[in-house]
Amino acid sequence: MTSQPTLTKAEDGPGEPGEHGSGLQAGLKNRHLSMIAIGGVIGAGLFVGSSSGIATAGPGILLSYALVGTLVVLVMRMLGEMSVANPTSGSFSAHADRALGPWAGFSIGWLYWFFWVVVLAVEATAGAKILEGWIPAVPQWGWALIVMVVLTATNLASVGSYGEFEFWFAGIKVVAIAAFIVVGGLAVFGVLPGVDSEQAGLANLTEHGGFLPNGAGAILTGVLLVVFSFMGSEIPTLAAGESEDPQRAVTKATNSIIWRIAVFYLGSIFVVVALLPWDSQSIVDRGSYVAALDSLGIANAGQIMNFIVLTSVLSCLNSGLYTASRMAFSLGQRGDAPGAFARTTARGVPRTAILASVVFGFVAVFFNYEFPDSVFLFLVNSSGAVALFVWLVICFSQLRMRKIIQAEAPEKLVVRMWLFPYLTWAAAAVIVFVLGYMLTDTEHNGRTTVLLSLLVAALVLVVAVVKQKVTARTALVGKD
């Protein structure tokens, strides 16, 4: 069982040759952490992926979002309990290392890193498509390259640069969704000045086949379609280690997750399904949010939403590169990755970890353009279920970590999981059920995603076990 360092102002780490690296620095301000926490749950998937969920489950998609949202709240509460007691850049990977063993920290850390570097390619391509539509003189691959280079430079500059970019990216997303909810809500209740939308109204929730037009089973199918749009809610626990007051930052992020999900996910989706009939063809053709804005007669709704989606894409890219590099840094610190990953510059930037992450991202972008239906499709599918794996590991880690913290430093249990251990076990059971249900889903690629993700997870786990045995054997030889 390994012990993990507790961060305050900086996390110890070796410096690079010729530099004065002193580990990660406390370069994130409170306003950065606050906006990262708020914007972290708002991914581009909310804007571009909700239409398929609505088409599948109808107004009942609200229950799908509520179920996944509740699960995320529980998982974040568990992660908050562990991270407040021991804030670290490795977050759940470091907790799993201590609670379950080095094999667990190694496996989930590398799977999480793999997930985010694939996301880099997905988001870079999505952003490039929007930018090419605005300025076609630059080819799509050129825009993808430009976006990746700019955000890599931002992350290499300092953690404060990442925080500042994310503050404004997240701020735009938050303001946009808040405005959408207010304007759409006024239209739903018929009090929006200058707008007379005949389609809008609460009747849309029960007419057109009822609240569950495709049956109760569609709620679970909806869960499969929306669950991955919640990935990113754990980022504040990784970023908190580079803030001035990690415990306060994690506590605040954990306590605010309920209203953030309720407002931004449930609130905005409620407005969409109340503004338009769920079976409106415009939702499928133009996307749920664009169709909703069009129904209100708002000019250039498509371009407005393209700008918001682009902002979300850039935010996801920015956070994805940051998150992947900090996980790589933590793995390097624990000896689960090359030692160079744990080295920082004089400004506290893990340069090698960032460059290694972005290089894989560039390679994935290349595969996306050259082999979209083979290599890149494999990468996407094989990382698709990682979010559920991460949440499951958090559940089992918290079950063990609660006993460790109570035995070693009970005063650090500032944030406590509700109804422990019953809700923890319930959350784990729900996650396992969702994974099992995905194996029955052939229409939306759920079975392929789970099987390929399990294959990659098994390969990583084998490497972890072999590494652990080699390390133990080496230690015994050293003692002799």
Separation CA 165–CA 315 (nearest Å): 8
- Residue 119: phi and psi, rounded to 5, are -60, -35
What is the residue whose two structure tokens read 């229950």?
Answer: 63
417, pLDDT greater than 90: yes
11, pLDDT greater than 60: no
Q: Can you tell me the mean pLDDT for 64-93? A: 91
pLDDT of 133-158, one tens digit each? 999 999 988 999 999 999 899 999 88
Q: What is the pLDDT of residue 480?
A: 60
Q: Which residues on adjacent β-strands are paired with residue 28? A: 243
Write out the H or E segment, with its range, that includes residue 143: helix 140-157
pLDDT of 201-260, one tens digit each? 889 999 889 999 999 888 988 888 888 888 888 888 888 778 878 888 888 888 888 888
Average pLDDT, the chain: 86
Sign of CA dihedral 23, 406, 259, 433: positive
CATH fold of 18-474, please?
Amino acid/polyamine transporter I (1.20.1740)
pLDDT of 84-103, one tens digit each? 998 887 889 999 999 999 99
Q: Can you tell me the mean pLDDT for 45-68? A: 88
Q: What is the pLDDT of residue 3?
A: 38
7, pLDDT greater than 60: no
Predicted confidence band of residue 116 (pLDDT cuts 50, 70, 90): very high
Residues 6+ apart with CB under 8 A from 390: 92, 108, 111, 112, 234
pLDDT of 291-309, one tens digit each? 888 888 887 888 888 888 8
Q: Enter the tokens of residue 66.
A: 């509520």
Separation CA 69–CA 222 (nearest Å): 13
13, pLDDT greater than 70: no
* Closest alpha carbon to 272 in 355, 205, 211: 205
Residue 195: how many CA atoms within 13 Å on its side-chain side? 24
Output b/e per residue, 394-425; b: 16+ Cβ within 10 A. bbbbbbbbbebbeeeeeebeebebeeeeeebe
Q: What is the pLDDT of residue 254?
A: 83
pLDDT of 317-371, one tens digit each? 888 899 999 999 999 999 999 999 999 998 889 999 999 999 988 898 888 888 8
Q: What is the pLDDT of residue 199?
A: 75
Specify the amino acid at residue 422.
Y
